[in-house]
Structure formats: structure tokens, C-alpha cells
Structure 1
């Protein structure tokens, strides 16, 4: 007679603990936002007055329209650029293609607000390119602020995500299908439109929806370059600051609307991915071919030009970080280490050490939780773990500014007063960036056959010992790959940090933002260069640990 397994084992205890943490740090703060937006703080009665106020004033609801306009246009352009770039690099022999791919990936991992700052240096009112255009052509070009500037920055920063996804999909495309179309007289363009795109349509849906959610939630770019063109994250931030110490209901109502929009997009993505997903097996993978004549020249020009535009912000911030400034605002044209001297020797280094220290704390927690969550959701399927699987995706769709406000609402009073502490910053980093590690860990554990664990247990090892001694070591390549990507994105986290930070928890990203707002461009460039170089080194470590030369998501 078989004995019933105890309900109080390692896995059930782990599930309950992680579920408790999820409820405390994700669901409870979000519930408070909903509560503050829908209930009168004085009477406690349900009300939609805050929502009526939002749609009653054109100033407010037009911001929602702005967000959709910017996001739709940026997503469309990212897809239009990303697909041909991936196709050319998979199909045409491009000189230095590996280096080009690395540059595109570097442009993706860099925070969008650094791109906004760099383009201000180039095409702002006092930008280098702006001055050249106005002086040369006797024009009165006023810079790229507003809708155009936001779309430019977010498109160039987002198309690499589409590129990475499509590159992965094209790996599984059978080249015999393309050759068959070619034998029937289809041109290159026709083969791409009628054969390639329909086959990779699920991947296009997935990548474009992720770009859509990423762009619509971006705070730093529209805040720095938008000027009067406000988007929802900026409006939420501004309303929250104006409401601190008073009635926060309106700020919560706006955040609630934004949560509804992003969760709706998340659900749409899941529905589409299930409906249109299918697998391809490439008997003959797409091979790179040597092109000749005008086709070869045009392919190289397009690839190099788009790559140059994508990586230009990183080049600008590194270059300008070595230029001397007067008052931090006007570049003299002379090379100097003045900016680095200012931030490294004439200032408190806490914002730099805070970034690495809190990032390391967050990564340790992310790795531990990521291993357990991925193992539980793949190997120990039950109702609780299915709930965990769903909740683990929430950080993908909760905008950072909304998360920051939610955490302030939840932890500004006893018994858990965490606002302004290192703990609340680490919690925000963990919540925002854990999905990268969970996704990569889940993928790797799906490749570990259960028979390996069964063999270990049959040899006398306990289930827990098998997990620690066998499964975890086999998971580590995927876990570390995801952890490095989580680390890279933590370095540039701004949306939640700008709301949660205090003087003793300021990070590099917050420092860059505040220096740009104050007009201290020299210091902002030096901080940006440090952040960019750290991200590049982290990417190189990723390639070294995984043995890859590209990122697959």
C-alpha cells in the first residue's frame, strides 16, 4: 500500500512562500492603486469621479491618445526596420556581420533615455547637427522635440528587439521553400513578402506586441525629449508628485487606466501566440549567400546605415564624456578628463556604488527565485504553481512608474515602512527584471529530461538533493544567461527608480536623468559612458558564459 506524500514538503513550502511574496510585493500594491482610484478616502464609498475627471478634461485624455500614437508609429517602424535587417543578415553575406549584430544588441541593452539625451546633443536646439543645418542652409530648425523626437529614439531603440526575434525565427526557416519560390520566378522582394513573412508571422506578432508594451510604458524618453507632448507615464509621474502629501486618488486612477491598457495588451499577446503559434523544422536552414553588383552594395549600405544610427547614441555619450565643458553645459571642443574628475573625485560616489550594490543584491534574489519558480512551474505543476506562472509575467506589463507608485502606497506606513530604503529599491529591481531569468531558466529546464532526476533518486538521493546536486548545476547556463540580461536592464532602470529613490539610494540612471534636467551635460555624459561600458562588458560576459555570439529571447 502506497503512502501518501506529505503536503508539507520542500516544494509546497517553496510555492507558498513565493506566492506570499508575490501577494505582498506585487498584488497588494496594485490592489492599493485600484482602491485609491475607485474609493473615496474620506467616506470609503465606491466612486468613478477620478475617472470622470480624467476623460472630462482634454488635457488628460489627449495624453492617452498621445501614448497610443507614439507607440503605434514606433512599433510599426521598428517592425519595418527589424524584419529586413534580420533577413539581410541571414540571407546576404555582409562584411563584419557578427560585429554588426553585436552593435545592434548593444544599442538594445542601452536604456532608451540615454538615446534621448544623445539625440538632444545632436538634434536639440543647441545640438551639433542642428547648428550645422541652420548655419549651412540658413534655416530655423528648432530640434526634434515632441512627437518626432520620441518616435525617432524609441524606434531606433526598439527595432533590435524585433531583429533579435526574427533572427531566431529565420534559423528555423527551411531554405528549400525560398529556393522553390525562386525557381518559380519570384523576386527577392516577392519571396520575402509571400513566403518568409507568412512563415514567421507568429514571431512578428510576439515581437511587435512586446515592443508595443515596452514603448507605451517608457518614461525617460518622453520626459527628456517630449516637452509639451506628454505621454501616460509622464502624466502619472507628474500627477503623483503633485499629489504627495494630499489626495492621491487621481494619480491612482490614471495608473489604474494604464494597468488596464497594458494587461489587455498582455492578454491579447497570449491569445495571439496560442492561436497562431506553430513550429518549423528546418531540414535545410537558410544559408548566407554572396551577392554581387548593386544588390550587394545596397545591402551593405542599408545594414551599415541603420546600425550606425542605432549605435550612434552610445558613441555620442562616450565621445562627449571626454570633452571639456564650461559650467557643465557648453562644450569648449577640447578633450579633457574634467567630467570624470567631477563625478569621481569632486562628488559623492554613492550613486555609482549604489547601482552596483543594489543590482548585485537584486541579482542574487532573482537567481534564487528564478530557479525555484521555473522548476516549480515546469516540474511541479499544480494550481498554486500555475498561478505563480501567470503572476511571474506581470512585471512585463506593469509600467515602472506604476510599480513605483504602487510600492510607495504599500510601504509608506508601519508595519512595513520601506520607502526611501535600499530594500524598496531592490524589491523594485527584482520585480521588474526577474522575468528575464525566469524565461531563460524555464527554457533550459524544459531541455532536461525527467529521467535524469529519476535516475538520481533511484540511486538513493533524495528529491531535494537531486535538485541541488543535479538539476541546479544543469540549469546554470540558462540561469546565468537570464541573470546577466536582468543585470544589464537593472543598470538602466529609471521608471520605478525615479519615484522610489532617496538621497542615499540614488542610482546612475537617476543621476543621468537629474543631470540632464539641470543642464549639466558633461556630468551626464560621463555617467552615461560608465553605464554604457558596464552594459557592454556585461554583454561580453554573457557571450563568454553561453558561448553564443547573439541573444535569443
Structure 2
């Protein structure tokens, strides 16, 4: 009985019925307010069978699928190739026709895609590809579709508005936009910020990595806690803490204004963004460099000392060269993240505009300008992809491996005294600054009016959480938790599938799939948002 059920699921008729059931009970066109918040009239109009429309042409070709094996009875391989070609053609027809007619895809189309994936899985399995493992085949097809829909196609679509104005092809407008002095300044601002943050974060990350691996005996946990703490904190919260400390009403700013003659607006702009980004991105650099330092065999240093090198020479000519790929990797990763960040420049940027915030203002501002937003998004994407390609092709293919003839691990050698003192001072400053930063956020939630009245009160929490679940902070908090809880298992599942497919299986195009998967890390969130809107 169980075997019969399994064979029924493998039969094309099951998936054809599954697709038509979806066509019958689910909308074929997207609903503006979702399935549960739309009116009955809106749901009726979105059903594919309510009128004769394009969606009929998407589902009816499935009826020809059971006929294909009967036309070619004796050649299973040829039949499988025809089925695969037929499915790919139907998929492309659905996708291209929806784009041309500007038809939004509803829930029943998701069911159709699932059915097509299942039918293609059976056809590919009949060819004995991937050893005929249907789980692996279905996973690979699903991964390819996800990469296409959520990475490749959105990335390509961002180029389209650059060359069109009011529906007309105007390629010269790209040059006009790029030549604007304001656009040039915004691009320069972004590169200046990201490069500065990359250098500073890598410097701090190296210092903390050296402390945990070469200096600390019992206090390594302190460095690890305060080095990683900002990475679990959203950049927006880091920007808020910096504002409370160093903003116009910050106690540090008040001291600087009264005693050192600083301007009360000194934080907003290049300085504030660099400070906040350094706090948020140094942990990323620390984790990269700590792993690199732990992989360096201590026997290499011992060999240097036996050749009468001092500690400065051993660090400068042995340790530092071995860290070059990790340092470059750290710098490039931080630069990408700094370029892509949107929230921190929005809070601390002031009149200092960067690419990410300017894209947002072009879309959500008073003057809607998709062409300029698309152009800036393309420039931001080009910078990120260039850095990503350099990291992937250049650093990824260079080998900095230490070789020793014995398994003897050796003792980790001390750093030069001057370097140790500098690192301890930097770590102490970092720990103190973070304690004050997070303390300001916590204490500020209990104050009457930050910068004016520091009296303690619980009214802030009562205002946010004391008005029931439908008012105050509860709705946004609940929605945030729901979104995170929904995205986490889906992300973990597909991440596990991608890792399993790319590591444990061999197939043609494996490197391309791996590169496209990692490409989502290089595509800035702002660019992805713009492409989804477009």
C-alpha cells in the first residue's frame, strides 16, 4: 500500500491535479492587500477562472503532459528530454508573458511552479542524472529557481529604468545623471566612508584578534564579548547609542562644547557615520582575523627565533605576511557592508548624503525619480560586485599555508611589548566606550527627557507597552518577531540544502551555482529593495 502511494505521488497526473486544484481555489493574480485582508470582490476578480484570461493559457498546457509518453513509447530517454524541454518552455512562457502583459502572479502560480518542479524532477530522474536521487534533483531545481527569482532577475531588472523615461528608450539620460555634480559628490562620499571604515575596522579587528590569541590568558572572554557584541546589535541601535552619547543633546557633546569649543553638530555627517560603522563592523573583521591567527602554526615563529630574530622581526616578516589574505578579506567585507548600510547614514548622516540614503530619497521623497534611483543602485551594485569578484577570484585562489614536518604544535610566542601595550590600551578604550554606549541606551529608556531632564521614570515603558496589544509598541514588536520567526527556518532550510548540494554533490555548473549563491551577499540590501520595487 505504501509503495502504491509513493508511485502515485511520482505519477504526472497527481501533480497536474494538484496544479488545477490550486487554480480552482487560489487567486491567479496577486492581491494588493493579501488573501485575508481583501474583499470578496477583489478575490473573485483575481481568480483565474472568473474570466477567460492569460492564466488559462498557463494551466491548460499541463493537459498535454500525459500525452507525451504515449507519443514516444520505446525511448524513455528521448521522452524525458522532451518533457524537460516542454516544462522549461512552459515556465518561460508564464514568466515572459506575465512581464509583457504586466500581470502580477498570484498564489495559484506558486502551486503551478511546484507542480512543474515535481514533473521536471521525475523527468531528470529518468535520465539517471545525480544518480536518479529525486530529493537532490528537486533541491537543485528549487535552488536554481530561488536564485533566479530573488537574485539574478532583480539584479538585472534594476538596469531597466536607467534607459527609459516615460516609456521611451533614452540611453543618454544615464550619462546626464552621472555627470550631475551632486551625484558625483554622493558617490565620493560613499567611497570615502566605506574605505575609512574598512581601514579602521580592520585595524581594531586585528588588535582584538591578537589580544585573544596572543596576549590574553584568562581575560580572552572579555575581548570576545565586547568584540562580538555590536554584531548582534542592529546598526540602527548602534546609531541611536552614538546619538545619545555624542549627538546634540549628548553628555559627551555638552562637555566638548563647553570645554573644547566643539560645535554641537560635529557628529552628524562623515564623522558620525564612520564611528557608528566602525562599532558595528569591527566584530566582522575580528572574527575573520581571529580565525586566521589561530591557523598560523606557532612553530613558524619558533623557527624565526632560532634564527635570532627578535619579536618585532618575527611579527613583521612572519606573522603579518601570513595575515595578508585575511586582512584583505576583512577590508573588502567591511567595505561592502559599509557601502550597503542604510540605517546609520539615515540617522547620523545629516547633510552628508551617501548612495544608500539617496536612493531611498529618490523613491520615497517628494520627487519620485526611478531613473536616478536605478542609476545610483547600479553604481552601488557595481562597486559591491567588483569588490566581491576581487575577493572571490584573487584572495580565494591564493595560498598562504604554513608547512611543518612534524605534528608538534609549539608554544605561542609573546608579541613585542610596545605592541602589547597599544593593543591593551585599544581594547580598554573599546570596552569602556561600549559600556557607556549600551549603558546610555538602557539608561535613556528610563529618563524623562534625554539631554534636559535625566530624572528616572517608567512612563516611557507604560506609554509603549501599557496600552494593550493593539497600540503602542506591541504591534510593531509582534510583527518583527513574526517576520523573524518566519524567515529564520526558511533561510536555515535553504542554506542547509545549498550547502549540501554544493559540498557533497558533483555536477556541471557547480562553481557557477556557488558563485551565484554567494552573490546575494554582495548585492546591497538597498539595491535589492529598489529592484523589488521596480
Tell me the TM-score normalised to structure 2 length.
Answer: 0.69
Question: Max radius of gyration: which structure?
Answer: 2
Deviation readout 1:122-175 (Å, 9 max, x if unpaired): 111221011122223455454322112211221232222221111111112122
1:61 to partner: Cα distance: 1.3
Change (3 A) 1:111 1:227: same
Which residue of the partner structure matches residue 442 of structure 2?
A: 318
Q: Following TM superposition, by how much is the alpha carbon of 1:189 offset from its aligned partner in structure 2, in angstroms?
A: 3.4
Deviations 1:352-377 (A, max 9, x none): 11111111110111122112111111
Check 1:293–1:59 CA distance in 2 against 1; reply closer, same or farther (3 A cut): closer
Q: Provide the rounded CA distance (Å) in 2 between the counterparts of 1:17 and 1:293.
A: 56
| Alpha-carbon shift at residue 39 of structure 1 (Å) | 3.4
Which aligned pairs between 1:114-153 and structure 2 lie closer than 5 A? 114-137=237-260, 140=263, 142-153=265-276
Please state whether the residue corresponding to 2:448 is helix, strand or coil: strand
Residues 138 and 171 (structure 1 numbering): CA distance in 2 closer, same or farther, change over 3 Å? closer
Distance 1:51 1:304 in 2: 49
Deviations 1:15-54 (A, max 9, x none): 12221222222222222211122334423x3x43332122
* Corresponding position of 1:300: 424
* 2:333 pairs with 1:188: no
Q: Which of 171, 176, 193 in structure 2 is aligned with 1:53?
A: 176
Q: CA RMSD in A?
A: 2.8
The equivalent position to 2:466 in structure 1, one of 329, 341, 345, is 345
**Within 5 Å, which residues of 2 pair with 1:96-495?**
96-137=219-260, 140=263, 142-242=265-365, 248-280=370-402, 283=407, 285=409, 287=411, 299-310=423-434, 312-325=436-449, 330-346=451-467, 347-383=472-508, 385-409=510-534
Does the residue aligned with 2:350 lie in a helix, a strand or coil? coil
Determine the C-alpha separation between the residues in 1 that align with 2:410 and 2:181.
Answer: 52
> Aligned equivalents of 1:30 and 1:75: distance in 2?
25
| Structure number with higher relative contact order (C-alpha < 8 Å, ≥ 6 residues apart) | 1
Cα distance in 1 for residues equivalent to 2:206 and 2:512: 35
Change in Cα spacing, 1:87 to 1:11, as seen in structure 2 (3 Å) is: same
**Residue 16 of structure 1: which of 141, 150, 158 is its match?**
141
SS in 1 for 2:528: helix
Deviations 1:408-430 (CA, angstroms, capped at 9, x unpaired): 22xxxxxxxxxxxxxxxxxxxxx
- Unpaired segments ≥5 residues, structure 2: 1-125
- 2: CA distance between counterparts of 1:16 and 1:295? 53
The runs of 5 or more residues in structure 1 that have no matched partner are 410-553
CA gap of 1:80–1:294, structure 2 versus 1, over 3 A, is closer
- 1:466 alignment counterpart: none
How far is the alpha carbon of 1:99 from its aligned partner?
2.6
- Cα gap change, 1:81 to 1:285, in 2 (>3 Å): farther
TM-score where L is the length of structure 1: 0.67
